[in-house]
Structure 1
Amino acid sequence: MLSTRHRLSFSFGSFVTAPFATVPGLLLLPYLTDTMAVPAAAAGAIVLVPKAWDVLFNPIAGRISDRALRRQGSRRPVLLLGGCGVALLFMGLFAHPGLGSVAADAGYVVVVFFVAATAYAFFQVPYNALPAEITDAYDERTRMSAWRIAMLALAILVSGAGAPAIANGIGGVAGYRLMSVAVAALMLTGALVVYFGLRDAPVGTRRDLTPRIRELAATMRGWRPFQWLLAVYVVQSVGVGTLLAGVVYAARHVLGDPGLQTFLFAGFVGPAMLVMPLWSRLGRRGGKLVGFRVASGLFGGALLVLSASTILPTPVVFGFVALAGVGYAGVQVFPLAILPDLIAVEERRTGATRAGVAAGLWTAAETLGLALGPGLFGLVLAVGGYVSTMEQATVAQPESAITAIVLGFSSIPGVLILLGIPLLRRSVLPAPGTLG
């Protein structure tokens, strides 16, 4: 069994993953549409395209991570390089260089986001591979995931509530710049704690690498449980990404107070922190698959109710936001608890390393899903006729834009979360006798 220090050190990686997944999803789209006057459809594409690159690159990063484990006995050096790199590049993302035109400034954002997504892969891929290597215990992996998601909830709360508060409190370009420095400091702290805190953690068996990409691809095509779990995660990540992209717009244009976005986010993430041990206990007693289904139903159902946000009293809206947060906690815990089980079984079956490549594909799916969400939300805004502005200027939005915001914040992500339930087949879980 791992020590408390090891679990805690591992969980601090969430201070890298949560800000990079959450803050661009929350603020990059409004930064582009309401500060740089980039049209909504173009802004959605800018958020999507750099992260879509990770679909191709993350499996490569996974193979590099596997080689680091084989040659150096640890993935930690790759992880440290990626964590430090993404922290520095995040500051550049919101630097707004003022190149003289909307097109040039938007192009700068695309390039920096592209490189930042690449650096992020070198942290996230080895980080996702660690649980399958430092413990062989089925329940210990669930505990690690619970610790990680509890810290993830805290990191999302701190970055997701704090970043908008800093950006809006100061306002304009200066607010975004200071926000990016604060978030980058969180990321750097998280990377350093994981690197040094796990320096004496157990290391898994140094299995052989699959010699050829063709053989590896054939294995992945035949790995059906992983494929089903990945499909669920992609669909639900798109839903989460769409929801996050809508928070700022919902607070400003549906609830009528931009300052409420911090409270909306806290109301969503706060309950997730409180119920994390309950989801972990349900996973041990009732099974991870049952817990995953219950969490998906709760999350998606609460979001569908929020489609009536324009007529519901604000306290009721916050109540269903909190209920959605309870479901969100489970939707985060269970796939990350199942993944290392699948990796361990597949590595025993093949006798070759799978953790890095599987984590690479997993990270690619997560990154793409969270990028598709804001892209989808930007497209919905464009269809609704949303009016973009400079320096967060106040402008009356047409009723169709308000409807688009509500749909993007509630109904669309709700349906996507619920779509994960029929994909959660029993074959997702490995047979009990194969778990060791």
Structure 2
Amino acid sequence: MVSTATPSPSKVSLGVRLGYAVGSFCTANFSTIPGLLLLFYMTNVLAVPAALAGVVLFVPKAWDLIANTLVGRWSDRTVSRWGPRRPWLLAGAAVLPVSFALMFAGPPITGVPAAVYVGVTFLAAATGYALYEVPYKAMPAEMTTDYHERTSLLQWRMALIAVSIAMSGILAPTLAGETADGYRVMGVTFGVILLVAMLGSFFGTARAPFTAPRKSEGTLREQLAAARTSKQFLWLLGLSSAQTLGAGVMLAGAPYFAAYALDDTAATTTLFAALVGPMLITMPLWVWLARKLDKRGAMILCGALFTIGALLLLATPAFGELYAHLCVMIVGFGYAGTQLLQFSMLADVIAYDGMLSGERRGGIFTGLWTAVENAVQALGATAYGWVLSLGSFASSDPEHPVTQPDSAHVAVVIGVTVVPALITFAGVLMTLRYDLTADRLAAVTGGSTPSAAPVSGSDGQHGGQDRTQDGGRPEPGEVLRTEE
């Protein structure tokens, strides 16, 4: 029986916002920790050559181009008592936490064998992450029809992302230290955190409203073609990729910058505090700026702040550690805004496509988005590894430390400053071409809020609309079905 009480198509309750946001403890930690620690773990604990370690970080992401697209397609066409997205959150929870812990288990091998081991476990973890993240990111576009409500909804997620990044940048390095045993403890600890977050988001979104159109009827090729021909999606993907790559290069270089530019390995923790601190206090400001400047104008401002902060960081050898932390705070102000606005704009693109096509294709868009995002994140560490190689950086292990040449010290600084600044500035230029504004969305809907009506199941779960639009209630005992 379908309930007659339907949630508002524009407002999302506080409970659902928090229930959705708790998933950030999965997405932010998994996105951050490998980028921050895995390269350093391989080169300085497992004695893997820097160039090979960079390749190991990137190669598993090639699989994401297939896995994320498939998961997006499956979730678009899933019919279940839990809705189209939420069953996949459970599937990811069954795979990611264990494979993440194994990735940092540190078997008694070094060099090439260690690189192979890390690569295989990283591939498994990336698969589990795809099962979870693709449907997770599609959900905000389906919870509300309001352009600015999506930003407000996501600010809760961004606040918890800030906490998660702080955990990744402060707790994870502290637990890991520079020993294999430390990395094992860190891997298990965060494996548990991932599991709790993934289950929390599954149960926390049980009563989320669902405003998406009917499920997609086209073939996978047709859906991919629809995403490729969306000018707004392609420009957003491009500018987001530039921002993600710039942040990924800086993230991978943080431990090296602390160790070799500041001569203080503990500074990795304080640098991360300077980065994520602005995220905890500026979310309401960025929501306000997105309304005043529109999301595109606010995004340009974010990218400019990130670029300026990174370039100012270049003078650290002359001005010292306090100066470095102030520069990272400027970067953090820009980074906070980009994290919020990227996903708010992605939700707009998905909703805009649904208005034009009348079909639920958010999984395809988020699948492609996530595949590219994950590849770009890994490429950040790979690119930094290449910069180190160009500077003749010598890999080592704790028992056999080495003295780095002057060229390696120069590479460490350039890789954290000039390289990410140039990449992020390219993203600013691409933002100028993005044109999905509030006025454009209003023009499509005739100046009013879209009328897609959410439907709640008898238990108020996210899956209610599937029971009416996608062919009825699942058969007794049926939990999940995909239609091809």
What TM-score do the two structures reach when normalised by structure 2? Answer: 0.87
- Counterpart CA distance in 1 for 2:384 and 2:435 is 30
Residues 161, 262 of structure 1: 8 Å contact kept:
yes
Q: Does residue 24 of structure 2 align to residue 14 of structure 1?
A: yes
Query: Deviation at 1:306?
Result: 0.7
Counterpart position of 2:113: 104
Counterpart position of 1:350: 357
Q: Does residue 275 of structure 2 align to residue 268 of structure 1?
A: yes
- Counterpart CA distance in 1 for 2:413 and 2:212 is 50
Q: CA RMSD in A?
A: 1.5
Gaps of 5+ in 2: 1-10, 450-484
Give deviations 1:29-50, integer Å, cap 9, x for gaps. 0100001111110010011111
Counterpart position of 1:317: 324
- Counterpart CA distance in 2 for 1:115 and 1:340 is 28
- Counterpart CA distance in 1 for 2:328 and 2:136 is 30
- Counterpart CA distance in 1 for 2:79 and 2:400 is 51
Q: Counterparts of 1:86-101 in structure 2 under 5 Å?
A: 86-98=96-108, 100-101=109-110
| Matching residue within 165, 169, 192 for 1:160 | 169
Q: Does residue 59 of structure 2 align to residue 49 of structure 1?
A: yes
- In structure 2, what residue type is equivalent to 1:162? L
Q: Does residue 414 of structure 2 align to residue 404 of structure 1?
A: no
- In structure 1, what residue type is equivalent to 2:371? A
Counterpart position of 2:149: 140
Counterpart position of 2:184: 177
Counterpart position of 1:34: 44
Counterpart position of 2:126: 117
Query: Deviation at 1:101?
Result: 4.9
Counterpart position of 2:234: 227
CA 1:222–1:71 in 2, change beyond 3 Å: closer, same or farther?
farther
- Count of paired positions: 433
Q: Counterparts of 1:64-75 in structure 2 under 5 Å?
A: 64-69=74-79, 73-75=83-85
- In structure 2, what residue type is equivalent to 1:30? F
- Counterpart CA distance in 1 for 2:250 and 2:400 is 23
Query: Deviation at 1:395?
Result: 2.1
| Matching residue within 238, 245, 250 for 2:257 | 250
- Counterpart CA distance in 2 for 1:183 and 1:109 is 17
Residues 52, 371 of structure 1: 8 Å contact kept:
no
Gaps of 5+ in 1: none
Counterpart position of 2:136: 127
Is the radius of gyration larger for structure 1 or structure 2? 2
- Counterpart CA distance in 1 for 2:213 and 2:386 is 46
Larger helix percent = 1
Give deviations 1:121-153, integer Å, cap 9, x for gaps. 011101100001111121110012211111111
| SS of the residue 1:115 aligns to | helix
| Matching residue within 381, 385, 397 for 1:378 | 385
- Counterpart CA distance in 1 for 2:279 and 2:267 is 19
CA 1:69–1:290 in 2, change beyond 3 Å: closer, same or farther?
farther
What TM-score do the two structures reach when normalised by structure 1? Answer: 0.96
CA 1:382–1:214 in 2, change beyond 3 Å: closer, same or farther?
same
CA 1:143–1:387 in 2, change beyond 3 Å: closer, same or farther?
same
**Percent of counterpart pairs with the same letter?**
39
Query: Deviation at 1:213?
Result: 2.3
- Counterpart CA distance in 2 for 1:253 and 1:393 is 17
Residues 305, 331 of structure 2: 8 Å contact kept:
yes
Query: Deviation at 1:392?
Result: 6.6
Query: Deviation at 1:206?
Result: 5.1
Counterpart position of 1:76: 86
- Counterpart CA distance in 2 for 1:167 and 1:72 is 38
- With 399-408 and 47-56 compared, the bigger mean Cα shift is at 47-56
- Counterpart CA distance in 2 for 1:280 and 1:353 is 27
| SS of the residue 1:243 aligns to | helix
| SS of the residue 1:299 aligns to | helix
Give deviations 1:66-105, integer Å, cap 9, x for gaps. 122578523111112213421111100000122x452222
Residues 11, 148 of structure 1: 8 Å contact kept:
yes
Residues 226, 428 of structure 1: 8 Å contact kept:
no
CA 1:399–1:213 in 2, change beyond 3 Å: closer, same or farther?
same
- Counterpart CA distance in 1 for 2:62 and 2:84 is 28
Residues 179, 398 of structure 2: 8 Å contact kept:
yes
| SS of the residue 1:397 aligns to | coil
| SS of the residue 2:48 aligns to | coil
- Counterpart CA distance in 2 for 1:107 and 1:77 is 32
Counterpart position of 1:215: 222
- Counterpart CA distance in 1 for 2:212 and 2:302 is 34
Residues 34, 392 of structure 1: 8 Å contact kept:
no
Counterpart position of 1:62: 72
- Counterpart CA distance in 2 for 1:335 and 1:297 is 15
Query: Deviation at 1:366?
Result: 1.2
| Matching residue within 343, 347, 361 for 2:368 | 361
| SS of the residue 1:202 aligns to | coil
- Counterpart CA distance in 2 for 1:108 and 1:49 is 13
- In structure 1, what residue type is equivalent to 2:54? G
- Counterpart CA distance in 2 for 1:47 and 1:8 is 32
| SS of the residue 2:359 aligns to | coil
| Matching residue within 192, 199, 207 for 1:200 | 207
Residues 289, 426 of structure 1: 8 Å contact kept:
no
- With 340-349 and 388-397 compared, the bigger mean Cα shift is at 388-397
